[in-house]
Amino acid sequence: MDELKRGLKEILESKLEVFDNKYPHRDYEITITDPEFTCLCPRTGYPDFATIEVKYVPDKYCLELKSFKLFINKYRDRGIFHEEAVNEILEELVKVVQPRYMFVRGDFNPRGNVHTVVTAEYLAEGFRRKQE
């Protein structure tokens, strides 16, 4: 029986994790960027590359970054449309982090001269974004 390499085993067994927000009385924004997101086109199997950006205003919890990195790496061998990937990332993060606000942007590298950017956001009931 082949043993999984350590990195692949960590990715497959990983779960998103959070830690307590020490400043829940204050609205502040956290931005996380992953410039090395990869997945596969579900029709052709060709690789897609993107920069995933997550912005959020935490409530009780903040996202633990290593668990986020491992979570994102679960997509690398998965056939998924750009739109589905961004929305699924948002839904999974919201479920665990339970933020006041969250925004996910997938800026996919051009393929066949077509450049795609997908954005999705979540706003907790009763929370209002401050105007920038």
Point out the residues that are catalytic: 41, 48
- Which residues partner with 105 through β-bridges? 53, 119
CA distance 125 to 37: 30
For 113, the token pair is 């001269």
Residues 6+ apart with CB under 8 A from 119: 86, 103, 104, 105, 106
